[in-house]
């Protein structure tokens, strides 16, 4: 595995105080190892305050260039910061080293107290990868064959009514077969890694990330018979409004939202060509993380 020369750092937005110590230490640590260090150009004003005007060792690149100009990307924030970088990966995107600056941090592999030792091993090439696929959301007008909207998610896409506290009815299909008409607050379509996010809060199952599955989790279904459903991830999922004049909102990973009409058709598919490479923490396992973050299965034996 190659040693990393060009390293980019992506920060959690709108935070200065928690970065003042750790970021100056990290940049100095990387500089001593002769690494080229880059940040997104819109962060220049914030970094100028953190580094007190001394930016001589830093480079600034556009958000669209970060994947093609980097050998390694370090995200410093929480799962949201990491997901935002993952959703924009390209075919040849570099591995991503996620540092959790908060408390929950389910996907971010490393804590701010421990990451330097593993980063040392990573830049030497001693690391393992956790691969995660992105999922594509396409919106089609009934009158057009070409998608009018296309984007990607790592965790989930949420489909609900664009109006406050209004129930909607969705027709849900997979591989050309009708699954059900769902009346309620909406539907969550989640990846395995996203099963511990909004889907879990809505009563969905926990899916181990290596399971090839998509989960359909109703949100406050107006029926006792609509339960979460797990289907193979090679299946496509097609959602339509079952009633006219619905205003529907799609929310991808809680970061991107788009409003569509009742005449539009939503299609969700797994993208095999879009694979996120996360640097794996060797001291962390999935079930240990469940216990630490969610106290899953934690019960005192007397």
Regarding whether 262 and 203 lie in a shared domain, the answer is yes
Regarding whether 114 and 199 lie in a shared domain, the answer is no
CATH no. for residue 158? 2.60.200.30
What is the pLDDT tens value at each position of the chain, 302 positions in all?
A: 457 999 999 999 877 777 888 999 999 999 999 999 999 999 999 999 999 888 988 999 999 899 999 999 999 999 999 999 999 998 889 999 999 987 778 899 999 888 999 999 999 999 999 999 999 999 999 777 889 999 999 999 999 998 876 789 999 999 999 999 999 999 999 999 999 999 999 999 999 999 999 999 999 998 888 999 999 999 999 999 988 888 899 999 999 999 999 899 999 999 999 999 999 999 889 998 888 887 755 555 54
Task: Give the count of domains, the chain.
Answer: 2
Domain hosting residue 99, numbered range = 6-128+280-294
CATH no. for residue 81? 3.40.50.10330
Residue numbers annotated as active site:
79
Neighbours of 242 (CB within 10 A): 15
**pLDDT value for 1:** 45
Regarding whether 211 and 124 lie in a shared domain, the answer is no
**pLDDT value for 299:** 53
Distance CA 156, CA 14 (A): 24
Regarding whether 100 and 180 lie in a shared domain, the answer is no
Regarding whether 138 and 120 lie in a shared domain, the answer is no
Alpha carbons within 13 angstroms on the beta-carbon side of residue 69 total 15
Neighbours of 165 (CB within 10 A): 6
Regarding whether 159 and 239 lie in a shared domain, the answer is yes
**pLDDT value for 184:** 93
- Cα–Cα distances in angstroms (integers) from residue 129 to residues 101, 181, 197, 274, 275, in the given order: 21, 40, 22, 15, 11
| Residue 300 domain flag | no
């Amino acid at each position: 595995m190659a040693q990393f020369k060009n390293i980019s750092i992506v920060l959690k937005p709108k935070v200065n105080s928690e970065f003042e110590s750790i970021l100056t230490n990290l940049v100095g640590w990387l500089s001593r190892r002769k690494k080229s260090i880059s940040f997104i150009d819109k962060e220049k004003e914030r970094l100028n305050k953190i580094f007190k005007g001394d930016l001589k060792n830093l480079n600034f690149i556009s958000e669209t260039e970060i994947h093609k100009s980097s050998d390694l990307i370090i995200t410093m924030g929480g799962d949201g910061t990491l997901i935002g970088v993952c959703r924009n990966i390209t075919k040849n995107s570099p591995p991503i080293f996620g540092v959790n600056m908060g408390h929950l941090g389910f996907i971010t592999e490393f804590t701010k107290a421990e990451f330097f030792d593993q980063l040392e091993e990573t830049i030497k090439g001693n690391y393992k990868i956790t691969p995660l696929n992105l999922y594509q959301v396409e919106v089609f007008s009934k009158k057009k064959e070409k998608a009018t909207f296309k984007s990607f998610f790592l965790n989930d896409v949420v489909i609900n009514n664009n109006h406050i506290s209004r129930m909607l009815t969705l027709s849900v299909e997979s591989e050309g077969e009708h699954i059900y008409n769902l009346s309620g607050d909406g539907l969550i379509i989640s990846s395995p890694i996203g099963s511990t996010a909004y889907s879990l809060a809505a009563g969905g199952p926990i899916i181990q990330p290596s399971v090839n599955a998509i989960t359909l989790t109703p949100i406050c279904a107006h029926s006792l018979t609509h339960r979460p459903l797990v289907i193979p991830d090679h299946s496509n999922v097609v959602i339509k409004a079952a009633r006219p004049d619905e205003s529907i909102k799609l929310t991808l990973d809680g970061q991107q939202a788009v409003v569509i009409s009742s005449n539009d058709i939503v299609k969700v598919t797994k993208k095999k060509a879009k694979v996120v490479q996360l640097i794996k923490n060797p001291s962390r396992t999935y079930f240990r993380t469940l216990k630490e973050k969610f106290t899953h299965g934690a019960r005192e034996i007397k």
